[in-house]
Amino acid sequence: MNTAGPAPAGTTATTSSYIDIDSLISDDFSPYAHANSLVLATNNPSDPAIDLNTPLSRVLFDLQEIDSHIHTLTSRSALDILTYTSTQNAAAQRILSRVEEERARLNASYERLEKEVLVRHQKAVEAQTVAQRSWEVLRLGRGAQRLLNLARQFEVLINESGLGGTRAGKEDHGVLVRASISILSFRNIMSAEGEELARINLVRTLRGRVFEDGEARILDFARRVVREFSMSTLSPAPGGASTTSAPTYREVEDSRARFSSAAHILYLLSPAPRIDGQKMTRKDFEPEYLIRALQGYLQTAITSSSASIGRALGQLPTLDRALLETSARCQNVVALEALLRSITAPEHPLVASDAPANIDTLTTGDDTSDEDETSPATKQPTENFLAILLNALDTASLPSYFWRSLASSLSTRVQEILNRGGISARTLRSQRDMVRAEVRECVLRGSRLPRTVTLGDARATATSKGEETVENWEREAAVMVGSVVGLLGR
């Protein structure tokens, strides 16, 4: 391989070399292929052994030649290289000096901007933080002030109502309804800002000692009114005469309004939690406290009637009295149904509705005259408490629910008497016709109420006297007779 190397710039002499420089610096150069070609060039294929000394010497000689070639080139071009390097260094120094000047100007500009912008920005951030914290304190202070004013108003209403006083049963029920609205206002504020306000000791004290304690007392009053409900409180003396056994018209109307207020209280104070931060819709709202109180009243009447009739069936001389008491309880249930039908559900401030609720204009009574005087924009919804209770009990009528529930419990008691045997069982079997007639009469008697109750107005006594049969209860009478007498024929 004999090639002539390129002459450096500024030189006229050339350096000869037999090495192919181009092939060595080519991208396709392979050291393995080059070594193989050297071995093949220095050995014959017919040789019994391969001689590697010759190609190794060739490689060493090539290295010496390349080194000599580099030395020659650098010696001839040393002046050009030094000149070029000096020129590049001078240019770099000039550029560096310009860069240093620009860097100094940038540093000065940054320092000026830091004083004019960054420092002011930091002060602005501090001012913003102070303003935000001051606003939070102000907002919490206003919220605490609203709760404090609401607590004072609530305590005034509780004192005005006479709740917890010595005159039990003389509480101002209308004031207690307004107190319930105050509790709802407290719940509304706490649901919106409760997490932050709850960290204030004053708010925690107000919630525990004022609102929660007052709510428990108001609920106890409302449940007591429902628990003590009786038809006798809705039936004035005939002809308007005042007797010791019958209440006056005024007392009847007060009893109606009192029960209506108690029902409104239980409806309003029933839990209405927010769903995903939004108010619960009216169709999803269930007045738990109201339904439980009314269910408890019905269950107490059913349990008491079942126990008294069960004992009387074992001692037939006492059956008349037990059935009279049961009829009276059924009359109470029928009166309760008539009264609940006349009480409409108020707008609940914590329940979403089509029209916005005004917590200051809720009615506390059930007079139809008051409902007629209200404007269409503020008129109460048409849904009444009876529909809510019937939907919860999954029944069409409260008396039907009463008699059918009572019948289901009497079958077990009659079976127990028959299983014990003895004179009680024999007497019960022998007197089954009499028992059938009395049980049927008990059911029919329980459906007869004074017209003042069925009409829903005590003043109706002046023109309407006597009792009126409410609907037809022949089917319920048959169910009751079957539950008692049906087992006696076996």
- Region 248-264: mean pLDDT is 86
Q: In 3D, which of 281, 265, 264, 292 has the Cα closest to residue 380? A: 264
Residue 102 in domain: no
Identify whether the C-beta of residue 182 lies closer than 8 Å to the C-beta of residue 152.
no
Q: Is the pLDDT of residue 435 over 70?
A: yes
For the purposes of burial, counting CB atoms within 10 Å of the CB of 44, is it exposed (0-12), middle (13-18) or buried (19 or more)? exposed
| More confident call, 448 vs 320 | 320
Q: Which of 42, 76, 110 is the last residue of a domain?
A: 76
pTM of the predicted structure, to 2 decimals = 0.67
Q: Is 285 exposed, middle or buried (0-12, 13-18, 19+ CB in 10 A)?
A: buried
- Whether 359 maps to a domain, the answer reads yes
- Of 76, 97, 117, the residue that ends a domain is 76
In the listed set 57, 76, 95, which residue is the last one of a domain according to the structure?
76
User: What pLDDT score does 17 carry?
Assistant: 59
Is the pLDDT at 1 greater than 50? The verdict is no
Give a yes or no: residue 137 inside a domain: no
Residue 81 within a domain: no
Question: What are φ and ψ of residue 467, in 5° steps?
Answer: -110, 160
User: What is the crossing angle of helices 213-227 and 249-268, to 10°?
Assistant: 130
User: Is residue 94 helix, strand or coil?
Assistant: helix
Distance of CA 116 to the CA centre of its chain: 51
What pLDDT was estimated at residue 217?
92
- The parent domain of residue 323 ranges over 231-236+243-485
Contact assessment for residue 468 and residue 411, using Cβ atoms and an 8 Å cutoff = no
| Spatial separation of the C-alpha atoms in residues 80 and 7, rounded to whole Å | 13
The first and second tokens of residue 339, run together, are 């009264």
Say which residues have a Cβ less than 8 Å from residue 175's Cβ, sequence separation at least 6: 157, 160, 161
With respect to residue 164, please indicate whether it lies within any of the assigned structural domains: no
User: Cα Rg for the chain, rounded, in angstroms?
Assistant: 52
Question: Pick the residue with more confidence: 380 or 32?
Answer: 32
Indicate whether 119 belongs to any domain: no
293 vs 55: CA distance, rounded Å: 113
End-to-end CA distance of the chain: 132
Q: Residue 397: CB partners within 8 Å, gap ≥ 6?
A: 337, 390, 471
Does residue 215 belong to any structural domain of this protein? no
In a domain, 169, yes or no: no
Q: Which residues contact 400 (CB under 8 A, 6 or more apart)?
A: 473, 476
Q: Bridge partners of 469?
A: 448
Please tell me the least confidently modeled range out of 150-154, 197-201, 247-251: 247-251
pLDDT in tens, 171-191: 888 999 999 999 999 988 888
The rounded percent of the chain whose pLDDT value lies above 90 is 29
Query: Could you tell me how many residues make up the chain?
Result: 490
Query: What is the predicted pLDDT for the residue at 365?
Result: 41
CA 145, CA 419: separation in Å to the nearest integer? 70
What is the tally of structural domains in the chain? 2
Phi-psi map region of 239: left, alpha, beta (phi>0 left; psi -120 to 50 alpha)? left
Q: Could you tell me if 9 and 80 are in contact, meaning their C-beta atoms sit under 8 angstroms apart?
A: yes
Q: What is the 3-state secondary structure (H, E, C) of 330-394?
A: HHHHHHHHHHHHCCECCCCCCEECCCCCCCCCCCCCCCHHHHHHCCCCCCCCCCEHHHHHHHHHC
- Output the six-digit token pair for 24: 């060595």
Residue 347 has pLDDT above 60, yes or no: yes
